[in-house]
Structure 1
Amino acid sequence: MTSFDDWVVHFEANDEHHRATEPMIDWSSPAEVQGRARGAFVRSFQRFELGESGEGAHLLDLAAAAGDPAYTEALTLLVREEQKHSALFGRALGYLGAPTLDSHWSDAAFTRLRRLLGLRTEIGLFLIAESVAMGYFVALAERAPDPVLRAVGRRIADDERDHIRFQVDRLRVGFRGTPMPLRALVGVAWGVVAAGAATVLVVDHGQALRACGVSPIEYWGRAMRSFRAAARSVLKNPEATLLGPTPLAPARAAG
């Protein structure tokens, strides 16, 4: 049976996997993306670099108070992965010859909102954010007009698929014993937040999506479908067995 001990093992193994695969990204190669597309990726990466850079102290304090040491350890390792994503976006900005941002209104608003809430609701917000953004990382991995940017996308998308599964597992535990009518109300509230998050994403990152050949309007619909699938995994049957991590993807060079 899957437990959060399995997630600890996964994140520790993933750290080794990162050390093996990240040297395959050829940061010394000249950027192939230029002009308006380059500017679009710069603006997009600046926002993601900032959003992924938090230390997660508030979230980890809530997790520790919940009294599950294995979950807290796994969450600590997940936060470190998010910080690595921030570092990757920062390095990609250097590759594109651009600086990082000190602040952005969307990141500040999200941080203020989640710090007002308890662990279950905060994890719910992360599930919404990650499920809505998942398609962006896949588009970057598959369709960015530069091999280094595609490699960054693959690296992050591989992690984020498991981050969503991890959030689903914790929320299933959190909603066990919650009556169905209350879970339905939670689903409605999450849907409103997800619609807002998807709208912010296509506004902030629409030009980068277009540079990957993805229509922002079409992306909005895909993001909402991704969110609804994740929400159903939690709220339809929280008594279900935990999903657990997926096997690590084989190492792939940039290209």
Structure 2
Amino acid sequence: MTSSVSIAIGDNVFERWVDHFAANRARHSAIEARIDWNATADLPEHAREALVRSFQRFELGEGGDGVHLLRKARGRGAFQQEALRMLVAEEQQHSRLFRRGLQHMDAHTLVSHWSDRIFTRLRRSLGLRTELALFLTAEAVAMPYFVVLARSGPNEVIRGIGTRIALDEEHHLAFQIDQLKQGLASLSIPVRSLVFAAWWCVAVGAATVVAIDHGPALRVCGMPVRAYWGVALRSFRRAAAATFGREERIGDN
């Protein structure tokens, strides 16, 4: 998926993001209306097992209520807080879509998973800016997964879910960049280099977890795990570079 997404930093940037998220509701309805949720899954068993395992983990990870994140954002501008609330609502919609995908494949959801527990505990222990950086990392390395679902999922329902989520995540990355950009711009060059080095290590770990946990689903969609790992890190590098003030193409794999 190739697109250049950017909403310039300025006094009204988060007001514009609120407008964007509000307009998204109609786009979401239009995309979902084209998905035939009653279609038969009709997948080979190995493909079904791989996608079920993958969707179960994403359904769990995307379903957070955002209470801790929104609490940390208190004291920020009213439009930023509202935009964050709307972002969390879109992520919860992604969880619903993965849940519908599981129903399509006649599978259940998970109550918990170790990767989700670790991620949740880690982000809750962080300040707002660091938690946002962690979210950007997770979304950047997951973006190639959503794109490959959209392009090469084994049936129309799976591709529809991938398309719906990939379009959102492309803008979510740009939103996270807008939130982080101003704070990072004030750092000295040596400090920015240290921040990027630490951030890169987190991204490598996150991409590795996705490659291990979702490798079978990636292969079902025709993407070798090694290829995904490289694309995921390039996706993160573009997002991080844009956050530090360089113009980058977000979502271009």
TM-score (norm 1): 0.91
**1:47 corresponding residue in structure 2:** 57
Matched, 1:37 2:66: no
Tell me if structure 1 keeps the 8 A contact 2:70–2:81.
Answer: yes
Partner amino acid for 1:190? W
The number of equivalent residue pairs is 240
**2:135 corresponding residue in structure 1:** 126
Tell me if structure 1 keeps the 8 A contact 2:62–2:94.
Answer: yes
Tell me if structure 1 keeps the 8 A contact 2:185–2:245.
Answer: no
Structure 1 alignment gaps of length 5 or more: 247-255
Tell me if structure 1 keeps the 8 A contact 2:211–2:228.
Answer: yes
- Determine the C-alpha separation between the residues in 1 that align with 2:24 and 2:95: 16
**1:7 corresponding residue in structure 2:** 17
- Determine the C-alpha separation between the residues in 1 that align with 2:217 and 2:174: 26
**1:85 corresponding residue in structure 2:** 94
**1:162 corresponding residue in structure 2:** 171
- Determine the C-alpha separation between the residues in 2 that align with 1:72 and 1:159: 19
**1:115 corresponding residue in structure 2:** 124
The partner residue of 2:26 within 1, 16, 39 is: 16
**1:141 corresponding residue in structure 2:** 150
Tell me if structure 1 keeps the 8 A contact 2:52–2:107.
Answer: yes
Partner amino acid for 1:191? W
- Determine the C-alpha separation between the residues in 2 that align with 1:30 and 1:188: 47
Tell me if structure 2 keeps the 8 A contact 1:32–1:145.
Answer: no
Partner amino acid for 1:31? A
What secondary structure does 1:178 align onto? coil
Matched, 1:106 2:115: yes
The partner residue of 1:28 within 38, 45, 61 is: 38
Superposed CA RMSD = 1.7
TM-score (norm 2): 0.91
Moved over 3 A (4+): none
Tell me if structure 1 keeps the 8 A contact 2:140–2:232.
Answer: yes
The partner residue of 2:239 within 217, 230, 237 is: 230
Partner amino acid for 1:179? S
- Determine the C-alpha separation between the residues in 1 that align with 2:74 and 2:191: 26
